[in-house]
Structure 1
Amino acid sequence: MLRKRSVRCLSIIILITVLAAAAGLYLEDSMEPQNPEEIAAFPPGSTVLEGDDVIDESGVRSVPLLLHPDYLLDSFNYMDPGNLLMALLTGAVRTPVSEMTGGIDHEGRSTVNGPGVIRVSGDKLVVQEPPAFLWAYKTPYTYGVRRGDVLEIIENGRKIKEVPADSISNSTVPHRYKSAERIKRWFKRADDGDRIVLDYQLSGFTDGRLPVPPERIEELFGEEVITYMENYPSGSPVMVYMKDYRKVQISSAVSYLGSYPEYDDNKRAFNARAFAAAWNGTIIPPGTEGSGKETVRFTASRDPEAPGGYASHGSCPPARALRAVVTGAGMPLPRGMTWEFHAVLFGFNPATGIKVKNTGKYPVLIEMWTTGSGAGTKIYARLYRLEPV
């Protein structure tokens, strides 16, 4: 009798197990997989740092506890009393983050070192590591537009406020790139509808991530990137992240200022130092074209043969050094320069008018400096290739 009862109980258990398994398979087959974007706290393509919360837990789907009792043992649930209690009361358990993600811990935080990027990979939401070299371009983000007696502030294509002309100040307008005084002077000269760029974003990233607005650049990429952007013209390539690389010197050159007193050797020495300062520290990524800094100023000397009667004499000796290291590295003659002794073409700014094109596989770094003074000024240039290790 006892044996018959045991067999009957065992049969019932087996039947329940089979029915539960069948129900589980049916439920699993009938449920559509969750779209990874539903659980993302930021749009795919967004830049995030290690430790950032990248999961919107309110979007995490629950599944029948019958289907996945093992989910209760995942730290996403058993370490969260709320999730655990809800599963026991409702019979539905939340899908663990680890089942749907990569590069993200069980609490929904990025584990990637450096400025990672959110991607959808198959049925998972992942944070990808940045490449060894990551760059973007400095492009306009915020404009000021004159409308009568007010300055409209247009941010990312949307008007965010109006500032009366007499209220323009550092507290009412973006002023990282242009001071409030400069904006006031522009406003007085501007016609109705004219616009001025007030702030810049980073866009056109090499790995296809979304543009980064001005207020997040320093947080994500550091103060050095902001400083670089402040110095270089709009449209310039900006290296925002580098890791595991070495500097390999490819070429070097030395040039001498010499004496041409008719153009004032002191002014010429000033321009030679300015040229070196404008180009020192410039990084040009592969396949891009870059110039020197726009924040460096040159002085003009009287020259009857120059257009307008003036020229930035003293720029040609350092330009010859720059030309030598660029072409010595196998890159073409910079735009705005010639092969002649007078290396800078008339009409081209020695810093922003000259363009160096990197036709190589890796980023290049230009270093320039001077020694001496007056006609005895010596100009040095080096070009390094930045190679992954």
Structure 2
Amino acid sequence: MSSIATDAPLGAHTSHAPAGVRSAAPSASIGSRIAIRGLSRRFGRFTAVDNVDLQIEPGEFVTLLGPSGSGKTTLLGAIAGFAAVDEGDILVDGRSVRGVPPHQRGFGMVFQHYALFPHMTVAQNVGFPLRMAGLGRAESTRRIGETLALLHLGEYAERLPAQLSGGQQQRVAIARAIVRRPPVVLMDEPLSALDRRLREAIQIEIRALHRTLGTTIVFVTHDQGEALALSDRIAVLDKGRIVQVGTPGALYRQPGNEFVARFVGESNVLDARVLRVHGEAAVLHIDHGQAFEARHAGTPLSPGQQVKVLVRPERVALVAAGTAGALAATVESTVFLGEILRVDAVLPGGGRLQVRGLDPRDGHVPAIGDTVHLAWQAGDAWVLA
């Protein structure tokens, strides 16, 4: 169930979120700063979390994103106090919480499975942490009402969990986690059991709730779309290590390596050869194709070097034959996705390109086996380190 400490938060602060945070927390942020330093967690010979460092600013929304087995849930469990730490430390507002039991850390917790008390009403479930804290009846009633209103649950206060939809039950679990206004809320894949429309609706509510409360949120998911939609920053994990941390825009547009490029969003990754370099741009060439320009992150490149280059599918356009710099390709498949048309094509050298564009107004869809011509803007290609 959602875990709320019965003690006061570990500390106060006056710091603000770092520059570049997409939507800053309110000036009255109650969130705590979390510093993870050299954290490792092993299970026998298997290292689930491997020497992780991460700084989370007060009031920031940070998502731990990665595939199954990447260590994201173990890392969240260590922050919560559910998982033991073999090496390193976790500081909350400058104070170590290593060895502090979960119920004394002052955090809220939302799990994938709602774990509501089936015999309690919505109001009783939400008020349970307040009762455990010994809060008076009048103040508890006020806080419960205020929290139910924040999550649009007021009319369901006297219902039992079995009388609610999955989305409503998850909102009750979130309400229970925030009713004491904790400085940190930890969320472990809380939306994975919901259908797409419900997930999108609750994402909007979580985002609005974060702006309203200013609490620090650490969110775990394997869904990159969810991470992009919710986060101020994303920490991408692979094999127990953080491979890149950045804003959603930075990770999507300028991934640090091929793993991040493929995991965060749809991607075209092509093999190319460097022809020349000038400043932060490089001129590349792919087999049986034209030369084109791509940006890079300042990584040393030299003529003749083989590199990987990323072009996002929505940046690739179907153009007329003879367009300067266009690549000829053969259509392998087409998929109608409603407002989006996806075209998969094969280049003469064997490379594959996916194109995602708006459904054409004339309804013309290339047929399998057709030759199409593909192009993109110079700034839309990114050399991977």
Q: The TM-score by the shorter chain falls in which range?
A: under 0.3
TM-score using structure 1 length:
0.24
Q: Which has the higher contact order (CA 8 A, sep 6+)?
A: 2
TM-score using structure 2 length:
0.24
